Amino acid sequence: MGSKIVFVLPQLAMGGAELQNIRQINYLHQQGYTVYLILTNNIVDLREGLVIPEEQIFELHFPYNYPSVKSIPSAFKVIRPLTKLLQQLAPHVVIASLPLSQYLLRMVKRFGYSPQKAPFKLVAYHHSMQYEANPLNTLGKRLFNKWNQWLAEQVDDYTLCVSKAVEQNITNHFTLKRPLVLPNSTTTRNIPITAGGQELLAKAWAKKAPLPFTIIIPGRLHPSKGHLFFIQAFQQWIQKHHLQADAIKVVIVGEGYIRKDLDDAIEERDLQAYFHFTGNLDNDLLLSVMKAGDLVVIPSINEGFGIVAIEALMQSCLILCSDAGGLPEVIQDGHNGYTFPKLNTNALLEKLTFLYENRDQTLIDPALLRQSYLERFTLEEQMKKLMVFLEIAEKVES
């Protein structure tokens, strides 16, 4: 393939957007594309996931990762080196993931190049419910949004959104150029419970199998993921049904800056015996843990898509999730899992009660759960769509 593609992100931190872009970069590289990665800041902890050569990875050390009062005026400091680098690479398409990358690339294309020259096609890649998580509730935010919108109208060529919900959220406040919904994906695997998951849960319970009812909550420890809401609701649930700690346990997988808040919330409610934290796990071990548990719960308050939901489907796990953002595009209530309105305690407890009381029944065929993943969310299916998109983007005039 003759196509040269550049992905631009603020950094490679542990997040859904970063992991998704790594998979796409690796796949395109293996298909013969020349793929570069530019990090406007630097790599944090995901370098080992990349298969492209080191000389195709660039770090610019711009000390910000999202638009802010400080980062917006400082953006001019990185425009010149970013422009120079892109001129050297001469890509056909540049994919800017996350808001800061999109803003910086718009500035580069509008002010770093001659207006008469179209050096590359610019694709803005949206992964989150951006305006739900960060509403336009100040004059400064509204003014920046108008400026950013003007830039987008001048230089954007295409838009990718990970879900219909994300597309609608952005469209409500911003005009998108030629939008395409490209659902997230993951590499197809089938990791057994014996790949560490069963052993880890046995340690969490401090006993051997068969284990009592175990709930797994996977994901970053971040306010948007709904952990605090779940802890509050869980307390009401066990009190109402008089459930003891030897009958049920919640295993929280992940790390994040609200860990102490979660510890405090659990301690305040005297729930320590019901909860177990694993910290971050290798992905195969996470998949094994999910499969070894009885129920995967995703109580998100804000969610662009929900990669853990498709990973749970891939593992044939029973899922209970909120209806935040793009999650209803993955899980349909009663078909391939169960859902509840986000932040609705009564609805969550009603579903938890139903699932717990029927814990010895097969409520949904595990084969159907995996099939719902295979039909819609494999990496191969996503990349077929993305490569067609890139081919069109390269050929169509702006």
Please, how many CA atoms are within 13 Å of residue 60, restricted to the half-sphere of its CB?
25
Mean pLDDT, residues 112-140 taken together:
87
Banded model confidence at residue 12, pLDDT cuts 50, 70, 90: confident
Q: Which of 14-23, 174-183, 343-352, 373-382 has the lowest mean pLDDT?
A: 14-23
The DSSP symbol for 175 reads P
Banded model confidence at residue 230, pLDDT cuts 50, 70, 90: very high
C-alpha distances in Å from residue 172, one per residue of 4, 130, 152, 307, 398: 33, 11, 15, 24, 24
The whole-chain average pLDDT of the chain stands at: 92
In the prediction, which pLDDT does 204 show? 86
Q: What is the percent of the chain where pLDDT is above 90?
A: 82
Nearest Cα to Cα of residue 304 among 123, 133, 99: 133
Which single residue is written with the structure tokens 């005039």?
Answer: 397
In the prediction, which pLDDT does 118 show? 59
In the prediction, which pLDDT does 3 show? 81
Mean pLDDT, residues 104-127 taken together:
86
Does domain 4-185+378-395 fall under CATH 1.10.760.10? My reply is no
Mean pLDDT, residues 126-151 taken together:
94
- Residue 53 in this model has a pLDDT that exceeds 70: yes
- Residue 79 in this model has a pLDDT that exceeds 80: yes
User: How many Å apart are CA 46 and CA 12, to the nearest integer?
Assistant: 6
Joined tokens for residue 163: 């879900």
- Residue 109 in this model has a pLDDT that exceeds 80: yes
Q: Could you report the per-residue pLDDT of 237-281, keeping only the tens digit for each?
A: 999 999 999 999 999 999 999 999 999 999 999 999 999 999 999
Output the furthest CA–CA distance in the chain (Å, rounded).
71
Q: Could you report the per-residue pLDDT of 152-194, keeping only the tens digit for each?
A: 999 999 999 999 999 999 999 999 999 999 999 999 999 999 9
User: How many Å apart are CA 182 and CA 389, to the nearest integer?
Assistant: 10
Residue ranges, comma separated, of all CATH 3.40.50.2000 domains in the chain are: 4-185+378-395, 197-376
- Residue 1 in this model has a pLDDT that exceeds 70: no
Q: Which CATH number fits domain 197-376: 3.40.50.2000, 1.50.10.10, 3.10.20.30, 3.40.50.720?
A: 3.40.50.2000
Mean pLDDT, residues 82-106 taken together:
94
- Residue 289 in this model has a pLDDT that exceeds 60: yes
In the prediction, which pLDDT does 247 show? 92
In the prediction, which pLDDT does 115 show? 55
Return the axis-axis angle of helices 76-89 and 99-107, rounded to nearest 10°.
Answer: 80
In the prediction, which pLDDT does 117 show? 64
- Sheet strands side by side (includes 158-161): 57-59, 34-39, 4-9, 93-97, 121-126, 158-161, 179-181
β-strand pairing of 295-298 with 213-218? parallel
Banded model confidence at residue 396, pLDDT cuts 50, 70, 90: low
- Residue 293 in this model has a pLDDT that exceeds 90: yes
In the prediction, which pLDDT does 116 show? 57
